[in-house]
């Protein structure tokens, strides 16, 4: 199929400043994706690439779903845009209702954004405003976690724990943020099947931070139930429950960032349900529209929403985006949720998890492999760094897999996998087979 991508020249690549990309390296040897359907991408020169990462953890129902295309096209014909400040449109209310149906019990309200980063900043702002509206305005501190990723807004990089994200903008980070230690512990947990046995005690660090600052100054804790972007760090058994208990004891809100764990990735609609721990707010994005149209949301519990509704008449939360609940995004999301429900995709990872884990655990003993972690349809293969060149082995593995027709994601020396939830067993075999060939050849 002729696409404009086929005719891109080296000069055509310069104008675009690519995000989270080594621009010079990429432009010297570009990887251009031109077409997608089901589990596959095709490159501009027609090579088939099996998508082992659902685009970027977002295309959970597979590519090119006609139901979404039709819903988006129909919505553009009916009404292209409608403001949602002091106005409404049917899709926004319908989508909020559908979302709270699949959300953990008690999270009954949805505030729409356009991305994971915006969802995180929105949740942090709601947390501050909620304490204030209840007369506890001294609660202004946030607690994040080392190796946490919460997007790229100033709020998100402040509570996040990724050094390069924080280094450059250190002077502009939010004041009053502490970080829990991360839970990644290869010495005790390498090659564990399922959740790690060791590390629940790291939740007690929260007590230490509370003792230091006093609970009356702390607004919220934000963590990813499974940290995705820093290489699939699974919560040790009992850890999340303990964090919830400590937050409850001190009146601190708990926010789960489910931007990647939402929409079936773990085998339940949300990781909160999978792990039996309900936060006060969930931030989500990505899978809500199957990656077709940018959208995110914050789900909030009744006690949060209701506190705002007790205040003086008028705008209760001075916050929102021009494109909050954009009609086209709502149409895409409603069609996506319909597919998830009809095809049982929000729990399908559970039925494949054993085979997925089995295939991944075969990597124990392969060259360079120092850990394998899986949960639901998520996997990390952690590789030993090359001497003095952290990330080089991971990058080489990513490029070699791409050359052999499989798209994986690389974070430092960790290879992360998170395929569309429609994946079949033969495709699981192909992904791990290719990765294994690549590692054996290094
Ligand atoms: C846990 C988490 N939070 C927030 C984000 C940011 O989302 P976005 O890139 O849509 O702003 C991401 C993106 O990967 C994420 O994994």
Confirm if 100 and 298 have CB atoms less than 8 A apart.
Answer: no
Please indicate, yes or no, whether residues 191 and 73 belong to a single structural domain of this protein: yes
Ligand 1 atom nearest residue 153's Cα = 11
Please report the pLDDT score of residue 312 as a whole number: 87
Domain membership of residue 398 as a residue range? 4-61+344-440
- Ligand 1 mutation pick, 182, 227, 285, max ligand atoms within 8 A of CB: 285
- Ligand 1 mutation pick, 258, 260, 266, max ligand atoms within 8 A of CB: 260
Tell me which residue has tokens 């655990």.
361
Please report the pLDDT score of residue 165 as a whole number: 82
| CA dist., res. 419 & res. 63, Å (int) | 11
Please indicate, yes or no, whether residues 55 and 115 belong to a single structural domain of this protein: no
Please report the pLDDT score of residue 1 as a whole number: 43
Please indicate, yes or no, whether residues 210 and 110 belong to a single structural domain of this protein: yes
C-beta 260 within 6 A of ligand 1: yes
Please report the pLDDT score of residue 166 as a whole number: 83
Ligand 1 atom nearest residue 224's Cα = 1
C-beta 150 within 6 A of ligand 1: yes
Please report the pLDDT score of residue 386 as a whole number: 96
What total of structural domains would you count in the chain? 2
Looking at residue 281, which CATH number applies to its domain?
3.40.640.10
Quote the ligand 1 centre to 260 CA distance (angstroms): 7
Global pTM exceeds 0.95: yes
Please indicate, yes or no, whether residues 101 and 56 belong to a single structural domain of this protein: no
Please indicate, yes or no, whether residues 186 and 324 belong to a single structural domain of this protein: yes
Please indicate, yes or no, whether residues 416 and 328 belong to a single structural domain of this protein: no
| CA dist., res. 21 & res. 8, Å (int) | 18
Quote the ligand 1 centre to 228 CA distance (angstroms): 9
Please report the pLDDT score of residue 6 as a whole number: 61
Please indicate, yes or no, whether residues 397 and 290 belong to a single structural domain of this protein: no
Please report the pLDDT score of residue 398 as a whole number: 98
Please indicate, yes or no, whether residues 71 and 157 belong to a single structural domain of this protein: yes
**List of the chain residues with pLDDT < 50:** 1-4
Ligand 1 atom nearest residue 294's Cα = 10
Beta strand ranges found along 210-280 (DSSP E): 218-223, 253-257
């Amino acid at each position: 199929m002729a696409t404009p991508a086929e005719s891109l020249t080296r000069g055509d690549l310069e104008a675009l400043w690519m995000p989270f990309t080594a621009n010079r390296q990429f432009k010297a040897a570009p990887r251009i994706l031109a077409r997608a359907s089901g589990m596959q991408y095709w490159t501009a020169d027609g090579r088939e690439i099996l998508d082992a990462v659902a685009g970027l953890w977002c295309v959970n129902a597979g590519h090119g779903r006609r139901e979404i295309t039709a819903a988006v096209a129909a919505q553009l014909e009916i009404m292209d845009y409608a403001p949602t400040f002091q106005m409404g449109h049917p899709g926004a209310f319908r989508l909020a209702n559908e979302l709270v149906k699949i959300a953990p019990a008690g999270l009954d309200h949805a505030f729409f954004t356009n991305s994971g980063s915006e969802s995180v900043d929105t949740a942090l702002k709601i947390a501050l405003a909620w304490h204030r509206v209840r007369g506890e305005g001294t609660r202004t501190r946030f607690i994040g976690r080392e190796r946490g990723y919460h997007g790229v807004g100033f709020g998100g990089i402040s509570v996040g724990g990724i050094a390069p994200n924080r280094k450059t903008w250190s002077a502009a980070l939010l004041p009053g943020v502490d970080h829990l230690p991360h839970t990644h512990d290869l010495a005790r947990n390498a090659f564990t099947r399922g959740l790690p046995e060791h590390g629940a005690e790291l939740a007690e660090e929260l007590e230490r931070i509370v003792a230091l600052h006093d609970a009356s100054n702390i607004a919220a804790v934000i963590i990813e139930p499974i940290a995705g972007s820093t290489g699939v760090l699974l919560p040790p058994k009992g850890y999340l429950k303990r964090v919830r208990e400590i937050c409850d004891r001190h009146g601190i809100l708990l926010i789960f960032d489910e931007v990647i764990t939402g929409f079936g990735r773990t085998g339940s609609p949300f990781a909160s349900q999978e792990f039996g721990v309900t936060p006060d707010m969930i931030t989500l994005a990505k899978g809500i529209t199957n990656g077709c149209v940018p959208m995110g949301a914050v789900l909030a519990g009744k006690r949060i929403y209701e506190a705002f509704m007790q205040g003086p008449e008028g705008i209760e939360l001075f916050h929102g985006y021009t494109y909050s609940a954009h009609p086209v995004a709502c149409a895409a999301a409603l069609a996506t949720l319909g597919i998830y429900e009809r095809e049982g995709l929000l729990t399908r990872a559970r039925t494949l998890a054993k085979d997925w884990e089995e295939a991944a655990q075969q990597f124990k003993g392969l060259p360079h492999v120092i850990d394998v972690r899986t949960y639901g349809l998520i996997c990390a293969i952690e590789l030993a760094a090359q001497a003095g060149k952290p990330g080089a082995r991971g990058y080489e593995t990513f490029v070699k897999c791409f050359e052999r027709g499989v798209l994986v994601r690389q974070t430092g020396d960790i290879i992360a996998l998170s395929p569309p939830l429609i994946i079949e067993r033969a495709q699981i075999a192909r992904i791990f087979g290719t990765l294994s060939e690549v590692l054996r050849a290094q």
